[in-house]
């Protein structure tokens, strides 16, 4: 069977391709195909040819798929921009990617003037604007016939900028330029994650589409002829309700979502029929062992985890059964080969922590940043995402933390992930971030920034309770020197913490105190 929405539009034009959970808006394969053709025509009409870039700054909305599949047949580079960024950060990406067009919506009008000021001459289309730049009007003016020069497009994601300026991850060009050629992720979805190829899949996507996982996996769902059920924004109870209402078979999560699910009132947790749910995939951040144990206990052995990055350099996968015998593992490689190396680049033995590299034939580069690309490379041509971990004797990978998050306190390497994983399992804690803050005696001191479930609990009483709770598992050197309680943390909707924001804040405080 052909694996592409173009083929499904021909064979099942009335099958729903996308359903929005909030508004209930739907788009069939036939409608998505016609809209994608019009968008490819629009790109050409605006002088955007194969290999040229355009930027997308949008909330989760149904038209995002018009852009994805239009670009996928126009041979263009779609550059998704995080809706969490400021105008200068968005403008930096638009300039860095040399995007010829920005597509945005009324949701971002507050940023648009500032973006235009930094990107003079930028062509802009705005959804819901109703004026000369209205996207729907521009799209409607185009023919729904395919463009004559179709070729496979690409997506250039920008790293979340957890350290410094965001970097464009320029993918290796597709091996086959035919827009309907298969892509590696389809094989991984079917063979690795067990996704069905018969068009019966109903996939729940709760995260923002500008991230690698939602854009990648939901595109695979469309190649396989399934239905994407997309949430405008994540809410734990609404997600459970959507699984029941749409008979969801497959879903994609991050550990933060699991934590939110498990903090729901048990009466709400058991209220919904989840019997249609056959595969729940999660990634993006290491999942605390007790949290995952509880999720498997509740949802059954349908919880599958993978480890990969926006860079697409490799992937490991682990199903529930293997995880229960290797708790905490992110699995064995299903794409690329894993190598764990010491600081000198030599490969390490089982259970020895080092930098994790993937060996793969197709590797990306960092756009306009040869130094960053070189820094990520091993002398043997392997590439790292900057994560530390180890392989066990069976070849199962375990993640310790990101190299850039490591705290060096009194000469000892401390990995915050271990402390965070403990903190979020406390019944009074909703979220936690552990960072190193400057310290005259130790170099860095361990700071725990904690979001309590109820801010009324914040204070010395809760701090004493958490210290007592941690002391059972943590050595004294790892115990946070300071607890800072706040109503929320700077976390991306894909589960990544913006630790840089917290580190900068504490560094500035230390500097002021020193002056």
pLDDT, tens only, 283-331 = 988 899 999 999 999 999 999 999 999 899 999 999 999 999 999 999 9
Helix, strand, coil percentages, rounded to 5, for the chain: 35, 25, 40
Distance in angstroms (rounded) separating the CA atoms of residues 100 and 109: 19
Residue 240 structure tokens? 């459970």
* CATH number 2.60.40.1120 is the correct assignment for the domain at 406-514: no
Which residues in 180-328 belong to E strands, given as ranges?
202-205, 227-230, 250-253, 279-282, 303-307, 315-318
DSSP conformation letters of 356-380: EEEE-SS--EETT-HHHHHHTB-TT
Phi, psi of 126 (to 5 degrees): -125, 125
CA distance 103 to 10: 28
**Quick check: do 5-173 and 406-514 share a fold?**
no
**385 closest CA partner among 366, 413, 412:** 366
Question: Residue 328: which of 421, 407, 405, 402 has the closest Cα?
Answer: 421
Q: At what angle do helices 416-423 and 460-471 cross, to 10 degrees?
A: 110
With b for 16 or more beta-carbon neighbours within 10 A and e for fewer, the 283-306 pattern comes to bbbbbbeebbebbbeebeebbbbb
Residue 102 Cα distances to 51, 346, 410, angstroms: 16, 45, 49
Outline where DSSP puts E strands in 212-262.
227-230, 250-253
Tell me the HSE value of 207 on the side-chain side, using a 13 A CA sphere. 28
Return the pLDDT at 161.
56
Q: Domain residue spans in the chain?
A: 5-173, 406-514
What pLDDT, on a 0 to 100 scale, did the predictor assign at position 278?
A: 98
Is residue 201 within 8 Å of 249, Cβ to Cβ?
yes
CATH architecture of 5-173: 3-Layer(aba) Sandwich (3.40)
3-state SS, 422-452, equals HHCCCCCEEEEEEEEEEECCCEEEEEEEEEE
Residues of the chain below pLDDT 50: none
* Strand, coil or helix: 175: coil
Helix (H) / strand (E) element for 127: namely strand 123-127
pTM of structure: 0.90
Can you give the length of the chain in residues? 515
Distance CA 397, CA 329 (A): 6
């Amino acid at each position: 069977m052909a694996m592409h929405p173009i083929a499904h539009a021909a064979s099942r034009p009335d099958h729903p391709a996308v359903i929005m959970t909030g508004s209930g808006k739907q788009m069939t394969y036939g409608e998505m195909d016609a809209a994608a053709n019009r968008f490819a025509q629009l790109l050409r009409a605006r002088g955007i040819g194969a290999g040229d870039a355009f930027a997308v700054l949008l909330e989760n909305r149904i038209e995002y798929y018009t852009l994805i599949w239009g670009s996928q047949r126009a041979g263009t580079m779609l550059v998704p921009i995080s809706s969490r960024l400021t105008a200068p950060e968005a403008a930096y990406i638009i300039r860095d990617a040399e995007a010829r067009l920005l597509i945005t919506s009324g949701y971002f009008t507050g940023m648009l003037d500032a973006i235009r000021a930094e990107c003079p001459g930028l062509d802009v289309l705005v959804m819901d604007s109703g004026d000369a730049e209205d996207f729907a009007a521009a799209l409607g003016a185009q023919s729904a016939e395919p463009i004559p020069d179709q070729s496979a497009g690409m997506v250039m994601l920008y790293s979340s900028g957890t350290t410094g300026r965001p970097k464009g991850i320029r993918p290796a060009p597709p091996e086959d330029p035919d827009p309907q050629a298969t892509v590696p992720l389809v094989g991984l979805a079917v063979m690795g994650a067990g996704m069905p190829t018969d068009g019966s899949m109903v996939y729940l996507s709760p995260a923002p589409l500008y991230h690698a996982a939602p854009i990648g996996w939901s595109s695979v769902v469309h190649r396989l002829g399934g239905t994407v059920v997309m949430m405008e924004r994540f809410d734990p109870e609404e997600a459970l309700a959507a699984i029941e209402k749409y008979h969801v078979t497959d879903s994609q999560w991050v550990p933060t979502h699991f934590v939110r699910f498990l903090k729901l009132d048990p009466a709400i947790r058991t209220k919904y029929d989840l019997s249609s749910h056959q595969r729940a995939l999660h990634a993006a951040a290491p999942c605390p062992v007790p949290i995952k144990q509880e999720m498997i206990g509740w949802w059954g052995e349908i919880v599958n985890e993978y480890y990969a990055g926006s860079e697409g350099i490799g992937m490991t996968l682990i199903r529930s059964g293997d995880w229960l015998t290797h708790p905490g593992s992110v699995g064995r490689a299903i794409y690329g080969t894993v190598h764990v190396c010491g600081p000198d680049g030599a490969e390490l033995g089982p259970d020895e922590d080092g930098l994790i590299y993937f060996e793969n034939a197709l590797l990306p580069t960092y756009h306009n940043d040869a130094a960053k690309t070189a820094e990520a490379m091993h002398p043997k041509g392997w590439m790292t995402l900057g994560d530390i971990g180890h392989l066990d004797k069976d070849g199962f990978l375990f993640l310790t933390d990101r190299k850039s998050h490591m705290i060096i306190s009194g000469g000892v390497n401390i990995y915050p992930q271990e402390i965070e994983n403990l903190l979020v399992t406390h019944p009074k804690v909703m979220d936690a971030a552990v960072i190193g803050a400057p310290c005259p005696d130790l170099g860095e001191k361990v700071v725990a920034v904690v979001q309590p479930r109820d801010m009324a609990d914040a204070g010395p009483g809760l701090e004493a309770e958490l210290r007592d709770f941690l002391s059972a598992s943590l050595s004294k050197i790892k115990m946070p020197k300071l607890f800072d309680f706040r109503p929320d943390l700077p976390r991306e909707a894909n589960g990544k913490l913006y630790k840089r924001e917290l580190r900068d804040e504490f560094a500035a405080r230390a500097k002021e105190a020193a002056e």
